[in-house]
Amino acid sequence: MNTIIQKIDSEKNNIYIKREDLIPYSFGGNKARKAFKFFEHIGDDYDYVVTYGSSSSNHARVVANLCQKFNKNCIIISPEEAEKETYNSLMMKIFNAEIIIVPVSEVSKTIDDTLEKLKNQGHTPYFIQGGGHGIIGTSAYVDCYNEISEYEKENNINFDYIFLASGTGTTHAGLVCGQLINKDNNKKIIGISIARNANRGKHVIIESIKDYLKENNYIINEEKIKEYTYFLDDYIVGGYGLYNDDIMETIRNMLFKEGLPLDPTYTGKAMTGMFKYISKNEINNKNILFIHTGGTPLFFDFLENEYKNKFKN
Ligand SMILES: *Cc1c(COP(=O)(O)O)cnc(C)c1O
């Protein structure tokens, strides 16, 4: 799954992008990398995959697609508070996923009931947490970290910073695990929060790191884990899915200059945060890697929302 790393135009620093969006399945993205790991575990032992995701969920779209590939029944529990139709939700429907819509307060009970009901009917359901959260999801991004290390060795370069959009924190946790396991002290991995506040977000990331290290018998003390987990909530601009003119400008710039699609919820927000962090901290002449975590269908939702009416004759 080794995705390419490309250098983009930039004046003050050397900026590179790891193109996780080009993972060659279902528009790629970090959810594709994680979901492939889950399906390795699922193998032939389960006939249903049950997961959680809103109508804009990249995770739910990839899982529904993989269920078609591996011939599994797919059930997606979805919160009624976020039911606007999107390209992701359309694809979930095309992939024949059964979508169960309930108020967000009933999600957890609905998941339990659904699994219980399937088991009672003699089925073998496998549950994947929303966003592909959990040790298996984390392990996908330890792999990604190792690819980055390989690239550094082959190209005789050290990335001083790695930036990414951090949501459930699984992607971020996997990268930090890779860093800690490789004892790589020469870089800062910085997660730009797309919704969570610093306290909650950082706590979840640290728990994910601890879970993964414990499961794989690595002993690393908690202080060190905390020291290496940089999670910034300065660029949330009001909450999940909300965006401002700065983010729109980043998206336009990257599209015009690099032909690179970003979306306002994740990659566009995180890259805007990255540029603000770089200028605020006067970072110069450094090697900086941005992880493009995917979300291409959200780019098309953005196009439709922002531009469709504007260019209608
Ligand atoms: C889910 C998602 C993220 C956040 O990943 P987490 O592992 O949940 O933190 C970032 N970018 C995109 C495009 C996503 O779909």
Predicted local distance difference test score (pLDDT) of residue 309: 82
| Bridge partners (DSSP) listed for residue 192 | 165, 232
- pLDDT per position as a tens digit, 167-190: 999 999 999 999 999 999 999 999
Which of 58, 91, 211, 247 has the most ligand 1 atoms within 8 A of CB, as the residue to mutate?
Answer: 58
- Assign 3-class secondary structure to 252-276: HHHHHHHCCCCCCCCHHHHHHHHHH
Of the residues 163, 209, 293, 300, which should be mutated to test ligand 1's pocket, given the most ligand atoms within 8 Å of the CB? 293
For 224-244, write each residue's pLDDT tens digit. 999 999 999 999 999 999 999
pLDDT at 1 over 90: no
Mean pLDDT of 281-292: 98
12-40 pLDDT, tens digit per residue, is 999 999 999 999 999 999 999 999 999 99
For position 137, what pLDDT does the model report?
98
Strand partners, 290: 17, 163
For range 36-52, the mean pLDDT? 97
Q: 238 C-alpha to center of ligand 1: Å?
A: 18
Per-residue burial over 159-169, b = 16 or more CB atoms within 10 Å of its CB, e = otherwise: bbbbbbbbbbb
CB distance 61 to ligand 1 below 6 Å: no
Mean pLDDT, the chain, integer:
97
Q: Can you give the pLDDT at residue 20?
A: 98
Q: Rounded mean pLDDT of 108-132? A: 98
Distance 313 CA to ligand 1 centre (A): 36
pLDDT at residue 55 tops 90: yes
With a pLDDT cut of 90, the percent of the chain lying above it is 96
Question: Which pLDDT score is estimated for 313?
Answer: 64
pLDDT digits (tens, 9 = 90+) for 66-82: 999 999 999 999 999 98
Residue nearest to atom 4 of ligand 1 (CA): 167
